[in-house]
Structure 1
Amino acid sequence: MIYEARPGQVSYGEAIGVLLLDTFAPFIPGDVGNASTYSFPVRYKVVKGFTAERIFNHDLTVLDSLMEAGRELVNEGVKAVTGDCGYMALYQQQLANELEVPVFLSSLLQVPFISRMLKRDEKVGIIVANSGSFNSTLLNAVGVTEDIPISIKGLEDKKNFHQAAIIETGTLDAEKIEQEVVSASRELTAQDPKVKAILLECSMLPPYGAAVQKAVNLPVFDYVTMINYVYTALIKRPFTGFM
């Protein structure tokens, strides 16, 4: 087989490109920002100056920087571009229109898919980083229309999560945050028994998905379920076995 180099590309084999917020937090295994989360290589690109504060304020002035970082990932050879904050839904369509590869910035893109798995009156429960910044603008940007039943629970009042993810103290107590995320999931399902599936919106939450599932006994989706799903569509493997 003959291979040809791509102009401007000096490394190969990274199908998924991840646009990162400019944050100060430890990314533990299972986090979107930790490369050991995946069974395949990923490529990261920090969007300088794109802070959590700016995204929670729905700052559209970062779009040019986000576009440029996305173009850099494409030029470096990725086959699709994702992000590390569900609130990147705000920029989903603009980047999808601009980049030459598929774009799936927000974990919230899974909501319509999850909803269609459920009965008509059953709900998708969404655990979000900051419910105060979570609104219909975000949802509409990724195709979550008013006819899709959802129920929202924020983590902004959970002390350890708030310090690690929103204040960004630079430290993270995984055991305490797991307890908080499990507690929020139990509160959500107790308050709204029609919730029959959970989506963990924040890219820092996949490490706690197994504990959430054990606590509420429901399907649990997150950023990593989405990234793995897209990867299997980008990189098809031949089947082996026997009959």
Structure 2
Amino acid sequence: MTRIYLKRRPQPWAGDLIGILTLEASIPYVVGNVSNAGTYDFPVRYKTIGGASIDRLLNQSDQGLLQPVLAAAKELEQEGVRAITGACGFMALFQREVSNALSIPVFLSSLLQVPLLHATTGRPVGIITANSKRLHRAHLEACGIASDLPVVIRGMQDEPEFRSAILEESGSLDSAVIEAETVSVAKRLIADHPAIGAILLECSDLPPYSKAIQAATDRPVFDYNTMIGWMVNGVRSRGYS
């Protein structure tokens, strides 16, 4: 018989692999979205960051959110998750501070994948973001994206349904329309920059449309869920027999 020991006290539950930090947002979360637990075939645990609105994070790049982000991440660590991600790529601003403060892996932004995509394709990486006007050099640098790493950035902020449903939090969402908008942005991105070797979706609301983007552009597409799946394989290794 194998004896199993507590990892922490108190320990009222166990088994949540990935902790996910969320914003205080009012958006319908379809399957595929990071904030919909039905997206995953493994247990996840959510924690809302107090006071973290879309406006404060995306529009203001509010550094005052660091302490609430840290507090929420530490709570997830205490609750026993194996690694922590975010539900907005703009959380990149806090990647270094949070990862340095915790003893488990922290991967807050899907943008962390960009250096790997460039290294593996040897070509520029296309980034589709919620708002290209608000994605700054500080976000990229926090994810290890050097100034000489070739990226091309396009935003969704001018797409009517995405803007209304996500950025303005209208309370309703037409997923088919957002898919068409996202595919259109991706096709224009590749038409303007055919050398792009891979596409990275910054926004956690966009993974439901990755398959359609891949089919429309004939490029590999990466998003929050490709990153989360990679981390799960690291913290829960499969056995071979």
TM-score band by shorter chain is over 0.9
Task: Identify which of 103, 109, 112 aligns with 2:112.
Answer: 109
SS of 1:195 mapped into structure 2: coil
| Residue-by-residue CA offset, 1:46-88 (whole Å, 9 max, x unaligned) | 0121011011111010111111101110010011110001111
Contact 1:9 1:75 (8 Å CA) reproduced: no
- 1:125–1:188 CA contact under 8 A, matched in 2: yes
Paired letter, 1:55: L
- Give ranges in structure 2 of 5+ residues lacking alignment: none
Which runs of structure 2 are paired with 1:82-161 in the superposition (5 Å)?
Answer: 82-119=85-122, 122-161=123-162
1:194 deviation in Å?
1.4
Aligned equivalent of 1:18, options 17, 20, 38: 20
- Structure 1 CA distance for aligned equivalents of residues 121 and 236 of structure 2: 29
Q: Aligned partner of 2:69: which letter?
A: L
Cα separation, 1, equivalents of 2:77 and 2:10 = 11
Instruction: Calculate percent identity across the aligned residue pairs.
Output: 44
1:49 aligns with 2:44: no
Question: Hey, what's the Cα distance between the residues in 1 that align with 2:11 and 2:56?
Answer: 31
In 1, Cα distance between equivalents of 2:20 and 2:10: 19
Specify the code of the residue in structure 2 equivalent to 1:151. Answer: V
Q: Deviations over 1:72-106 (max 9, x none)?
A: 10010011110001111100000011112111000
| Aligned residues: CA RMSD | 0.8
How far apart, CA to CA, are the structure 2 residues paired with 1:8 and 1:189? 52
1:213 aligns with 2:214: yes
**3-state SS of 2:121 partner:** coil
Segments of 5+ residues of structure 1 without an aligned counterpart are: none
Check conservation: 1:199, 1:222, Cα contact below 8 A.
Answer: yes
**Structure 1 CA distance, aligned partners of 2:171 and 2:97?**
32
